Amino acid sequence: MKLNIHNLPELPPDDHPYYLLPEHRLELDGGTGLFYREAGRGTPVLLLHGLWTGAYTFRSLIEPLAARHRVVIPQLVDPAGANPLADDDYRPERLAGLVQAICRKLDLLGPVVVGHAESGLAAMHLALDRPGAMRSLVTVGMATELPRLSLRLKGWLLGNQRISEIWAQKGFSRPQLTALGLLDYADPAVVSRQEVRELARRWTTLPGARATSRILIQTLSKTYRTATIDRLASLAAGAGSFPVPLRLVHGSADTQAPPRQGEAIARSLPGAEWLVAEGSGGAVQVEQPAWLARIILAVAEGQA
């Protein structure tokens, strides 16, 4: 996406209703803490953002979902870089434990889990390990492999500690431009100034920039997805179905998680369903929120 920071559209407005929701602090075992927002009542719906984005990415889903359900949106990455999670805790198989802890602490019994990008991988691990931990799973823009050689190469190069520090320093020197470069939208008109500011907060301190660069480097590593790929392949080889209802949502113009990846999973796992948002990139929740909300509501209410 080519978009200059000075040409961002004014809409949606900066005072989005997302900020009217109180921000709560959740203390987890081992001294880990994170913030979350919630709205509504009823069957819980847990919205998990990808590691390249933040909780604000789900802003347009709050109103349609909270009208009938309890919606919980945790901020998994501390924008200030003060979250005591170790780098390895952001691997999908470890991040699954964090998701489970959130559900336990907030009494989310049988939630519908919506996992964007890396959080979709984590939710898959949790469903496979503890099927009773969730009612159903919807993944959005989840990549099981990095399709572009440039990304693989970038991930390999950035694995070098010196390169990681260079990335952190560059991000710190231009936080808004760095944040803008993390967005993968087919339609730039949906990007708001507030969204860029939210993501830029991670890069406005050197500790935050360094922590963020390490997390992002990890997600670019080929091995980051190995455990998930192996588990899904093993399940498919045994002609097994996914333990909970599974919907795989992709944008037709997603360059990081091409739709064919979701199609391949759905074909190999009986009962899984693959859905494509025409014209969307890697964040369907921003580009086509009403369409995605209908899918989540149908799953939550047993209509699909």
Question: How confident is the model at residue 252, as a pLDDT?
Answer: 96
Nearest residue to 128 (alpha-carbon basis) of 118, 141, 137, 140: 137
Model confidence, pTM? 0.91
Res 156: pLDDT: 47
Tell me if 31 sits within 8 A of 99, measured CB to CB: no
Q: What is the pLDDT averaged over residues 1-13?
A: 54
Task: Tell which CATH architecture fits domain 17-147+222-300.
Answer: 3-Layer(aba) Sandwich (3.40)
Mean pLDDT of 27-32: 78
Residue pair 199/53 in contact by the 8 Å Cβ criterion: yes
The proportion of the chain whose per-residue pLDDT surpasses 70, expressed as a percent, equals 87
Cα dihedral across residues 36, 42, 48, 54: positive or negative: negative
Residue 152: the pLDDT is 45
Q: How would you classify the pairing of strands 33-39 and 70-75?
A: antiparallel
Q: What is the pLDDT of the chain when averaged over all its residues?
A: 86
242, pLDDT greater than 90: yes
What pLDDT does residue 81 have? 59
More confident residue, 248 or 190: 248
What is residue 11's predicted lDDT score, i.e. its pLDDT?
46
As a whole number of angstroms, the distance between CA 147 and CA 76 comes to: 25
Average pLDDT over residues 230-257: 91
pLDDT of 302: 83
Looking at per-residue pLDDT, the higher value among 177 and 295 belongs to 295
For residue 191, pLDDT beyond 80: yes
The reported pLDDT for the residue numbered 5 is 56
Q: State the pLDDT at residue 83.
A: 62
Please compute the mean of the pLDDT values over residues 99-103 and round it to a whole number. 95
- C-alpha dist (Å) from residue 278 to 19, 183, 271: 29, 18, 22
Burial class, 99, CB count within 10 angstroms (exposed 0-12 / middle 13-18 / buried 19+): buried
Share of the chain above pLDDT 90, in %: 53
How do strand 33-39 and strand 246-251 relate by DSSP bridges? unpaired
Q: Write down the pLDDT at residue 14.
A: 54
Confidence check: pLDDT of 296 > 80: yes
Give the residue with greater pLDDT, 273 vs 184. 273
- 144 vs 7: which has the higher pLDDT: 144
pLDDT band at 167 (very low <50, low <70, confident <90, very high): confident
Residue scoring higher pLDDT (148 or 299): 299
Give the mean model confidence (pLDDT) for residues 148-160.
50
Continuous H helices in the chain: 62-66, 92-105, 118-129, 149-158, 161-173, 175-181, 193-200, 206-220, 226-237, 259-268, 284-287, 289-300
Residue 2 has pLDDT above 60, yes or no: no
pLDDT in tens, 61-83: 999 999 999 999 999 987 765 56
Domain boundaries, the chain: 17-147+222-300
Q: What pLDDT is stored for residue 116 in this prediction?
A: 98
